[in-house]
Amino acid sequence: MNLTPFPQTGCIHGLSVPLPGFQALICSNMYVLGKGPITLIDSAPKFPGSLFTMERQLGDIGFSWSDVERIIITHGHIDHFGLVGQIRSAAHHDIPCYIHKDDGWRVTSDYLKSGMWSDDSDGFAAMVGMPVKDIERMKRRSHFFKNLCDPIDDMCTMYDGDIFWTKDFELLVIHTPGHSSGCCCLYERQQKILFSGDHIIKHITPNPFHEVNRSRLCDPSYQSLKAYMASLTRVEGLDVRYVFPGHGEYIEDLGTLISGYRRHHQERTDAIWDALKKAPRSIYGLIGDIFPDLDEGEVFLAVSEILVHLEVLMDEGRAGLAENGPPAIYKVL
Ligand SMILES: [Zn+2]
């Protein structure tokens, strides 16, 4: 992991820890706003040694866990909140922890004790036409993820437009759903810095994951890719000098990156449309055309990606359902 050092920006410090098994993400980044209240943005997943790695970097900038007074979580994926429980224990005092209202359920013991697998998940697997072997692999993977975090049942809720104040900064909460339904960016206007979580990443196009747990969503009609594209527009017009993402290198050319994301999604939507022209198929049946070299551990990513693009094709009137299923069969119109 050889990241370009984060640029010097007042008392904002970047910390990074490795992500074994998640090479595509390079590392998890966290940010410390070092003037009261001392604020931490995101935390790494709970891998053995992650807490110590962060602690050492925190010490290098003159802080310890007991100095942390507030934690803001950009979204409810385990690689962004996994260590919060251990950080709180190490700090020996209550640290208020904030997450957007639409992602609060993801960090609770109620959700995590189920191994992140529910009736919604069974319905999703049947709808996309997933074979039993892949369902079993997904269940095992869910349990693996569950072990990379401690649940948090006393989260404070944040909303779009909220402002977190520190002595030097005003962090504006910008709700940017798409990667997850409660995904947020934090914008510091004076320093022109955008903390982007997983909404903006330099080296990969972030996944607008299909929300499998539909019964937990505030908006049952929520569509991930449609929401993601609208959220790109929300941050595109900001005056930004640096983007500090949840993974990998910091970013200086936000506009160019967003143009690339749009091009990528347009090409993928068109590729799925072209594949469907050959024959009506299930989502699982489209994998061979869209991801011919797919690793068997990435089946969920593939079906999620195809589904969110199919939703766009259906919105545009270019595709529709041939059979409701399960599995659902799609055709071009
Ligand atoms: Zn994420």
Across the range 255-262, mean pLDDT stands at 97
CA of 165 to the centre of ligand 1 (A): 25
> Tokens for 264?
């990528």
What pTM was estimated for this model as a whole?
Answer: 0.94
> What are the structural domain ranges in the chain?
12-113+151-252, 125-141+262-332
pLDDT in tens, 122-155: 899 999 999 999 999 888 888 888 889 999 999 9
Round the CA-based radius of gyration of the chain to a whole number and report it.
Answer: 20
CA distances to 66, 120, 179 from 227, rounded to whole Å, are: 38, 21, 9
Under the banding of pLDDT at 50, 70 and 90, the label for residue 232 is: very high
Same fold, 12-113+151-252 and 125-141+262-332: no
Task: Classify domain 125-141+262-332 by CATH number.
Answer: 1.10.10
pLDDT in tens, 293-312: 998 888 999 999 999 999 99
Across the range 320-328, mean pLDDT stands at 94
Tell which wins on pLDDT, 91 or 23.
91
CA of 79 to the centre of ligand 1 (A): 7
Q: What is the pLDDT of residue 247?
A: 94
CA of 179 to the centre of ligand 1 (A): 6
Q: State the pairing for strand pair 39-41/27-33.
A: antiparallel
* Spatial distance between the Cα atoms of 118 and 217, rounded to a whole number of angstroms: 14
CA of 225 to the centre of ligand 1 (A): 14
CA of 333 to the centre of ligand 1 (A): 34
Write down the CATH superfamily of domain 12-113+151-252: Ribonuclease Z/Hydroxyacylglutathione hydrolase-like (3.60.15.10)
Percent of residues, the chain, with pLDDT higher than 90: 76
Across the range 270-277, mean pLDDT stands at 97
Across the range 171-175, mean pLDDT stands at 98
- pLDDT value at 230 more than 90: yes
CA of 321 to the centre of ligand 1 (A): 30
* Spatial distance between the Cα atoms of 185 and 194, rounded to a whole number of angstroms: 7
CA of 277 to the centre of ligand 1 (A): 33
DSSP E strands, the chain: 12-18, 27-33, 39-41, 70-72, 97-100, 156-158, 163-165, 170-175, 184-188, 193-197, 242-245, 319-323, 329-332
CA of 302 to the centre of ligand 1 (A): 16
- Whether the Cβ atoms of residue 102 and residue 73 lie closer than 8 Å to each other: no
Across the range 222-230, mean pLDDT stands at 97
Q: State the pairing for strand pair 193-197/242-245.
A: parallel
Q: How far is CA 140 from the centre of its chain?
A: 20
The tokens 């790109």 sit on which residue? 232
pLDDT in tens, 56-106: 999 999 999 999 999 999 999 999 999 999 999 999 999 999 999 999 999
Collapsed DSSP state (helix, strand, coil) of residue 119: helix
How high is the mean pLDDT of the chain? 93
